[in-house]
Amino acid sequence: MTSAASVNAGGQAPGFSTQFCDVEVDPETGYVMDFGHLKRTVDEAVIRRLDRRHLNHDVDFLNGINPTAENIAAGIWKQLAPRVAPARFCSITVSSPPPSSVTLKRVAAPR
């Protein structure tokens, strides 16, 4: 799933994408998660809070944090992860401005 938001932080307009891993298909529905639910979740938890906002002043989950691409990715992860459980992310990528990007990845625990 990919989405984008237009924000106001020094002229940057970051976009982001997510990739899910560690998922199980529900035998009754035949899918992991309803895409409509996922779209609403991303819209409510991230897009509405980032779109046309000043990252230094208007985004509660970035309050007091330098809004680097790394911190934006971590903030998006923290906003979405509990809302999409039991699915889990493999990665979240934030690009701003292209071709610059950062990818936050899940690291498997050592066995």
Kindly report, residue by residue over 87-102, the tens digit of the pLDDT. Answer: 777 788 887 766 778 8
Provide the β-strand partners of residue 88: 21
Would you say residue 5 has pLDDT above 80?
Answer: no
pTM (2 d.p.): 0.77
Whole-number pLDDT of residue 84: 83
Separation CA 67–CA 94 (nearest Å): 11
List b or e across 48-64, with b for residues whose CB sees 16 or more CB atoms inside 10 angstroms. ebbeebebeeebebbee
Q: Over pLDDT 90: what percentage of the chain?
A: 13
The DSSP line for 42-67 is HIIIIIHHHTT--TTTT-GGGTTS--
Whole-number pLDDT of residue 88: 75
Separation CA 25–CA 31 (nearest Å): 5
pLDDT band at 78 (very low <50, low <70, confident <90, very high): very high
Both tokens of 6, joined, read: 């237009």
Peptide bond into 99 cis (omega under 30): yes
Whole-number pLDDT of residue 74: 92
pLDDT band at 79 (very low <50, low <70, confident <90, very high): very high
pLDDT tens-digit readout, 62-71: 999 998 888 9
